[in-house]
């Protein structure tokens, strides 16, 4: 998507909702932007451009994005509930704002929630430990074909498209 098409997506309602969300949590804005940039950088490093498709690497990216938002914003809040709520609100806003099919949107929302769930279960983990756990979890990700399939996968990452067979997904170890 080129920058002009991206800018055209911002209408009054989207802009207003984002403004209100940021107004409630101004200290989280910069750490969230840093977390987003770090997430994309790491995924580019691990998977090249594969994570831009709806495959396992994309599932990894969405879960990691939520984890990194929480971890980076932790500096400004001791309330894990507030951190999790912020990650939920900002990533849900992104999914509502982004043009996506219903299945891709449901997949992204589910994988975002998995990232937040992992944080709840492993609050004391460091970033590298979260990444390692997510890489292991990515191996058991479940392919879905319908939105309703998400309800039967439980706490697993989900994806829509298989990785190309000729491509071995490289992974960097920590």
pLDDT at 58 (0 to 100): 94
Q: How confident is the model at residue 168 (pLDDT cuts 50, 70, 90)?
A: very low
pLDDT at 133 (0 to 100): 96
Query: Helices 12-24 and 80-97 sit at what angle, rounded to 10 degrees?
Result: 170
Contact between 107 and 158 under an 8 Å Cβ cutoff? The reply is yes
Cα–Cα dist 87/78, whole Å = 14
Greater confidence (121 vs 163) lies with 121
> What tens digit of pLDDT does each residue of 34-70 get?
999 999 999 999 888 878 788 899 999 999 999 999 9
Give the pTM: 0.85
pLDDT at 54 (0 to 100): 87
> What tens digit of pLDDT does each residue of 15-33 get?
777 777 778 999 999 999 9
User: Any bridge partners for residue 143, and if so which?
Assistant: 159
Cα–Cα dist 16/1, whole Å = 23
pLDDT at 51 (0 to 100): 84
**pLDDT of residue 13 exceeding 90:** no
> What tens digit of pLDDT does each residue of 90-144 get?
999 888 877 788 999 999 999 999 999 999 999 999 999 999 999 999 999 999 9
pLDDT at 93 (0 to 100): 87
pLDDT at 14 (0 to 100): 66
pLDDT at 174 (0 to 100): 38
- Coil vs helix vs strand at 143: strand
Instruction: Provide the total of helices (H) and of strands (E) in the chain, helices listed first.
Output: 7, 2
């Amino acid at each position: 998507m080129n920058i002009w098409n991206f800018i055209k997506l911002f209408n009054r309602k989207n802009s207003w909702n984002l403004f209100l969300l940021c107004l409630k949590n101004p200290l989280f804005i910069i750490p969230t932007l840093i977390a987003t940039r770090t997430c994309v950088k790491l995924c580019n490093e691990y998977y090249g451009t594969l994570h831009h498709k709806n495959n396992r690497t994309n599932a990894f990216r969405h879960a990691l994005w939520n984890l990194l938002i929480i971890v980076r914003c932790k500096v400004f809040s001791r309330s894990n509930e507030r951190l999790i709520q912020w990650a939920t609100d900002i990533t849900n806003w992104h999914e509502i704002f982004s043009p996506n099919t219903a299945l891709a949107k449901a997949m992204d929302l589910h994988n975002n929630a998995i990232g937040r769930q992992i944080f709840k279960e492993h609050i004391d983990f460091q970033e590298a430990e979260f990444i390692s756990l997510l890489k292991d979890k990515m191996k058991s990700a479940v392919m879905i074909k319908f939105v309703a399939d998400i309800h039967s996968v439980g706490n697993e990452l989900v994806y829509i498209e298989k990785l190309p067979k000729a491509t071995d997904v490289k992974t960097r170890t920590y």
